[in-house]
Structure 1
Amino acid sequence: MKAKRIPDKNEVSRKLKKEHVKDKIFNTLLDHIIIIFLFFVLPISVILLADYQGWIKIPVIILDFLKLVDTILISYTIATIFIKLTVNVIPKMFESIGKREEKILLRKIYIGFIYAFTSVVVFWQVGIDTQNIVIFLGLVATGFAFAIKEIILSYFIWFILLTKKPFKIGDYIAVGEEEGEVKHIGLFYVVIYPTKCREFYKIPNKIFLESPIKNYGKGFFESSFDYYIKDIPENLNYHMEKMVERAKVKENLDVRLKLDSDSNGLKLTAYYKSTFSERENVKHKLLSIIVEGVNTL
């Protein structure tokens, strides 16, 4: 029988903090709903009730407008409460999905479906028939496509990033001149850290459609750098083997050295493996060993 794992203090603290944030968000939402109910829904409902009972007489055009506003407020308030109560339940029903990105996408689709369904219900309640609803939604969709095409493009790129998965949250990537760990895949931008300037950097989604993406992953990957030399010294292969041996013994690093050349002259190219976060540190150690080895030639 397997022993039950006891969560450590940090894990318990993270869970408590996460629950506290959820409670705070829910309480804030509840406060907003109460304000909407007290200052908008309740007064409008009282006015409509007074007209229905014949206590006051309201012009038809104003009455229709108040009914429309009341229907919209009540419908979307109920939809918002329903979403907040169920949005975290839906992803748990699909635990086999597993990946964080898929759960984010599923949550967004679920929220969009609930609000779209609520909109159709509102149209039906105010007396718009199905054919007119379809025509209206088609016109709205066409208008939005022209008015916010950049936003729509960002959405489709975001959808591609989550479904085709050229990278995932936690991967180290390079796009253009920026590289770092993926912290967030958003609707309009991807957040990476650390960058060369050691701050969070937001890359617009459309950049991933225009620029090549290099995904280093989360583990070890091969990197290389060049060290230029003036000429080929005697016994170069022997000294290169000594440099490789010293890197293994002194720093426990596996490196391959290769003599090469380009338009700038002769060079030693070092190939090594490291994680993204340790790449520069490993490069500095190997460079020190190569410089010291070349100076002894």
Structure 2
Amino acid sequence: MAKKTPRSGLIYVKSKLVHKSLNTFFMFFVFLTAVALGIIAVDEHQIFDIPDVVTGTLKVLIGIFVSYAVATLFTKLTVNRFLNYFEELGEIEERILMGKMYLWFVYLIATLVAFSLLGGTVSNIALFLGLITTGFAFAIRDVILSYFIWFILLTKKPFKIGDYIRVGEDDYLEGQVKHIGLFYVVVTPMPEMSEDYFKIPNKTFLEKPIMNYGRGKFRNEFDMYFGMDEIPENLPAKIEALKEKVWNNLDVSASFFLGADRDGVKITVYYKSTYDRKEQIRHQITGMMLNELIPAGN
């Protein structure tokens, strides 16, 4: 039996949410259709006298409601089967994108059917859609930009769900990517605490540099400074002993480089770790450096 990974679990959760939304849409269109049929039935049984223009409009609306209800039911029954054709893509992001494109395509067909029921010709429908699209695009250009960036994030993949990223340079945000949405990317700095997260607007990824740490080990560094009167004796030998101690106790390969200026000595430490352990390892190495390099009593 195949092991269920967190990413496959995300596909399952999204599938459940999609089906829940489709159920809501279907019941909504069925309800509207039932209301319209009820009003027409009242008129046909002469319970109330309803103008012909109202009943005629309701009959057209029933056709529109039914077309959307059928589209919703069709999507609900076929969306998982459609996604199975793209299972070999192997990435969650591609499957999410294909699923949304499939939904948009089915509802586009339903919309064209609705226009035809309203009596529009092909040329009129094309002209109407062109005008609406132009005005709509201008009115919600920020939303369209967010959609465009979302599409780039899913196709070009500067990072994936589950990667650890850093956005920006000086005033930066970093953490694990939990969700790539149409408007925001959800990032949590502490994956073990799911309630601790922040949302980064999609347009930020066009404005600021992105560093992708991935999911494995990546290089970290930090500096420790000593004043001229604080420089330990036999510093190179102590650093070599410290390097071996870090390896034996933390199972981490660390490199120490000396630098100096008129104010004192700087030790730059390089080590590799996963994102969730980087601060822990940094604190442990710092503690070992303080114990090994600073004489007792200082």
TM-score range, shorter chain: 0.7 to 0.9
Quote the Cα distance in structure 2 between the aligned partners of 1:114 and 1:65: 25
1:115 to 107, 111, 114: 107
Q: After superposition, give the CA deviation of every residue in 1:183-242 in whole Å (9 maximum; x if it has no partner).
A: 10000001111259x611111111111111010000000000000111355432211101
Displacement of 1:250: 2.1
Ranges in structure 1 where 5+ consecutive residues have no aligned partner: none
1:157 aligns with 2:154: no
Counterpart in 2 of 1:281?
280
Is residue 190–residue 276 contact of structure 2 (8 Å, CA) maintained in 1? no
* Equivalent position of 1:218 in the other structure: 215
Count of residue pairs brought into register by the alignment: 283
Using the TM superposition, name which of 147-156 and 27-36 deviates more.
Answer: 27-36
Distance (whole Å) between structure 2 residues aligned to residue 273 and residue 221 of structure 1 = 5
Q: Cα gap change, 1:263/1:104 in structure 2, threshold over 3 Å: closer, same or farther?
A: farther
- Asked if the contact 2:232–2:293 (Cα under 8 Å) also holds between the matched residues in 1, the reply is no
Inter-partner Cα distance in structure 2 for 1:108 and 1:35: 20
Residue 270 (structure 1) shift: 0.2
Q: How many Å separate the matches in 2 of 1:279 and 1:146?
A: 45
Matches of 2:22 and 2:80, distance apart in 1: 15
Contact 2:177 2:187 in 1 (8 A): yes
Instruction: Quickly say closer, same or farther: Cα 1:211–1:100, change in 2 above 3 A.
Output: same
SS at match of 1:109: helix
1:203 corresponds to 2:205: no
Q: Which moved more, 1:121-130 or 1:156-165?
A: 121-130
- What is the identity, as a one-letter code, of the residue corresponding to 2:253? D
Q: Are 1:88 and 2:80 matched, yes or no?
A: yes
CA contact (8 A) 2:227 2:263 kept: no
Counterpart Cα distance in 2 of 1:28 and 1:108? 13
Confirm or deny that 1:292 pairs with 2:291: yes
Q: Please say if residues 159 and 212 of structure 2, whose CA atoms lie closer than 8 Å, have aligned partners that are also in contact.
A: yes
TM-score (norm 2): 0.84
Paired residues of 1:179 and 1:195 also in contact (CA < 8 A): no
2:252 maps to: 253
Deviation at 1:160, TM superposition (A): 0.4
Aligned structure 1 segments of 4 or more residues deviating by more than 4 angstroms? 24-32, 46-58, 261-265
Q: How far 1:111 sits from its partner (Å)?
A: 0.5
Distance in structure 2 (CA, Å) of the matches to 1:184 and 1:193: 10
Aligned counterpart in structure 2 of residue 75 of structure 1, from 60, 67, 70: 67
Contact 1:195 1:201 in 2 (8 A): no
Residues 127-276 of structure 1: matches in 2 within 5 Å?
127-176=119-168, 177-194=172-189, 199-231=196-228, 232-261=231-260, 266-276=265-275
TM-score (norm 1): 0.84
Q: Which amino acid aligns with 2:277?
A: E
Residue 254 of structure 1 aligns with an amino acid whose one-letter code is S
> Which ranges of structure 2 fall in alignment gaps of 5 or more residues?
none
Q: 1:168 to 1:6 in 2, by over 3 A?
A: closer
SS in 1 for 2:126: helix
- The structural deviation recorded for 1:70 is 1.2
Q: Is the 8 A contact 1:158 1:188 kept in 2?
A: yes
- Which runs of structure 2 are paired with 1:5-84 in the superposition (5 Å)? 5=1, 22=16, 26=19, 30=23, 33-34=26-27, 36-37=29-30, 39-48=31-40, 58-84=50-76
SS at match of 2:76: helix
Q: In 1, Cα distance between the equivalents of 2:225 and 2:237?
A: 18
In structure 2, C-alpha distance between the alignment counterparts of 1:33 and 1:6, rounded to whole Å: 34
Flag the 1:92–1:262 CA change in 2: closer, same or farther, 3 A. farther
Which whole-Å CA distance do the structure 2 matches of 1:49 and 1:207 have between them? 55
Q: In angstroms, what is the RMSD of aligned CA positions? A: 3.1
Match of 2:174, SS? Answer: strand
